[in-house]
Copies of this chain bind each other. A is one copy, B any other.
Amino acid sequence: MSTFGTLFRVTTFGESHCASVGAIIDGCPPGLQLSAADIQVQMNRRRPGQSNLTTPRNEKDAVLLQSGLEHGVTLGTPIALLVRNEDQRPHDYSETDLYPRPSHADYTYLEKYGIKASSGGGRSSARETVGRVAAGAIAEHYLKIAYGIEIVAFVSSVGKVHLPMAAAVPATAEDDDDAAEPMSEEFRSLLAGVSRADVDAHLTRCPHPETAARMEKRIIRAKDALDSIGGTVTCVLRNLPSGLGEPVFDKFEAKLAHAMLSIPATKGFEIGSGFRGTEVPGSRHNDAFVRRADGSLGTQTNWSGGVQGGITNREDVYFRVAFKPPATISQAQATAQYDGTQGSLAARGRHDPCVVPRAVPIVEAMAALVVMDLLLIQNSRQAAAGRLPPITTLPATMVMPPRV
């Protein structure tokens, strides 16, 4: 439904043509300094009309905070926020309304609800993500201040234009080739250091200049052809504490996958070595433990993507999300009308030829919501366990030994 989270809960509302879209965020820690500007920065990154690579519709998307704060400090009570829809008129009837748009949600919304918004797929609109991004901005604001957690997403491919990472594993059909590494050195160092400034330095939000230029070219080609193209977004989470993720159903990666696949137009998710990791033998894939400078344990490699057994291990978490090519294209498509009549449909207006640049802050937002919620749950456990007297009779294998 429209609520996400257990202790940090986000409930969103709104379609394309109603009065406003927005969200209620329940469970925000009290005592957090927060302004509309802290939220607006991510809203602006999500907004259409940022470049000639995205739709020219220019919405202002100004966040209006309704509750849960006083004097710029959170009260611990629900924070409601909304963003007005500039154009609230119900969609006018037109010839193209005879058709369910191929690979869009017009048809399935109608099948599900027996009714649909005149604008089409109702809540499947990208407009729905406004509430998510605002909520995620609040979560990451807390995570940054309280834990120094960094969340950075970037475009890792557009069509067949991939970051160098993609070239690292030769797609050989030779069954015996065990030599490949699941991730290139270049990619590893990108994950470790990439910042939002690096990402925003390019219209495509790919922080690798040479690849970014090729991606831009690819998107413009799709646009010129009245067509669209898909892509992937990679996201890295740094400085996470260990212990996040709730076995067995709410493993860290399970909640992340849920969150990511709830974003419109997504078709896939992988964490750490992901699908490529399936091709590698365990002896290469395992992340050996090493002693860190501070005496704690880390891992030498990180094919696990910061998660083992569904629980974070303090290494960086990184994952990748697949976005299909936008379904709405301006070229004519042969397709059937609602009543079954065969015909041809060409979408009017102008549309994003590629969603991944704008998807970057949405991926970050959903990641922040997952981290925030699992952090609150783990906090609770640790506080509860911390009230118990130490148990001195357990076998050594059941507790953490002192560091040498």
Contact A278 B323 (CB under 8 A): yes
Q: Within the complex, which residue of B78, B142, B217, B257 is in contact with A11, where a contact is CB–CB below 8 Å?
A: B78
In the assembled complex, the Cα of A57 lies from the Cα of B338 at a distance in Å of 54
A385 at interface by CB-CB < 8 Å: yes
Over the window 380-398 of chain A, the binary record of Cβ atoms lying under 8 Å from chain B Cβ atoms (1 yes, 0 no) is: 1111110111010111111
Contact B324 A278 (CB under 8 A): yes
Contact B290 A336 (CB under 8 A): yes
Contact A231 B278 (CB under 8 A): yes
Copies of this chain, tallied across the complex: 4
Contact A67 B15 (CB under 8 A): yes
Contact A336 B297 (CB under 8 A): yes
A203 at interface by CB-CB < 8 Å: no
Most buried by B among A114, A117, A167: A114
Over the window 299-336 of chain A, the binary record of Cβ atoms lying under 8 Å from chain B Cβ atoms (1 yes, 0 no) is: 10001110111111110000000111111110101111
Which of A37-45, A46-54, A89-97, A188-196 sits within the interface? A89-97
A285 at interface by CB-CB < 8 Å: yes
Contact A29 B381 (CB under 8 A): yes
Q: Within the complex, which residue of B221, B254, B400 is in contact with A114, where a contact is CB–CB below 8 Å?
A: B400
Smallest distance from the beta carbon of A385 to chain B beta carbons, Å?
Answer: 5
Contact B270 A268 (CB under 8 A): yes
Contact B243 A251 (CB under 8 A): no
Smallest distance from the beta carbon of A259 to chain B beta carbons, Å?
Answer: 8
In the complex where A313-B108, A322-B275 touch, is A76 in contact with B113 (Cβ < 8 A)?
A: yes
In the complex where A104-B309, A111-B313, A273-B324 touch, is A329 in contact with B26 (Cβ < 8 A)?
A: no
In the complex where A76-B112, A115-B394, A304-B103 touch, is A268 in contact with B275 (Cβ < 8 A)?
A: yes
In the assembled complex, the Cα of A1 lies from the Cα of B26 at a distance in Å of 7
Please name the residue on chain B nearest to A180 by beta carbon.
B160
In the complex where A2-B249, A218-B175, A249-B262 touch, is A64 in contact with B338 (Cβ < 8 A)?
A: no
A147 at interface by CB-CB < 8 Å: yes
Please name the residue on chain B nearest to A129 by beta carbon.
B248
A62 at interface by CB-CB < 8 Å: no
Please name the residue on chain B nearest to A146 by beta carbon.
B387
Most buried by B among A228, A269, A303, A313: A269
Contact B247 A391 (CB under 8 A): no
Contact B160 A172 (CB under 8 A): yes
Most buried by B among A26, A128, A177, A402: A26
Contact B103 A389 (CB under 8 A): no
In the assembled complex, the Cα of A25 lies from the Cα of B108 at a distance in Å of 22
Contact B281 A31 (CB under 8 A): no
A18 at interface by CB-CB < 8 Å: yes
List A20-43 residues whose CB lies under 8 Å from chain B: 20-22, 24, 26-27, 29-33
A232 at interface by CB-CB < 8 Å: yes
In the assembled complex, the Cα of A159 lies from the Cα of B175 at a distance in Å of 7
In the complex where A71-B398, A105-B308, A287-B102 touch, is A76 in contact with B115 (Cβ < 8 A)?
A: yes
Please name the residue on chain B nearest to A290 by beta carbon.
B336
A277 at interface by CB-CB < 8 Å: yes
In the complex where A383-B380, A385-B29 touch, is A338 in contact with B261 (Cβ < 8 A)?
A: no
Contact B385 A379 (CB under 8 A): no
Smallest distance from the beta carbon of A261 to chain B beta carbons, Å?
Answer: 4
Contact A339 B309 (CB under 8 A): no
CB-based closest 5 A-B pairs:
A105-B309, A268-B270, A230-B278, A228-B282, A380-B380
Can you spell out 17 A-B residue pairs with CB atoms less than 8 angstroms apart?
A13-B80, A29-B387, A76-B112, A80-B82, A82-B82, A108-B243, A112-B243, A112-B378, A267-B272, A267-B277, A278-B322, A282-B324, A286-B329, A288-B333, A379-B379, A379-B384, A380-B383
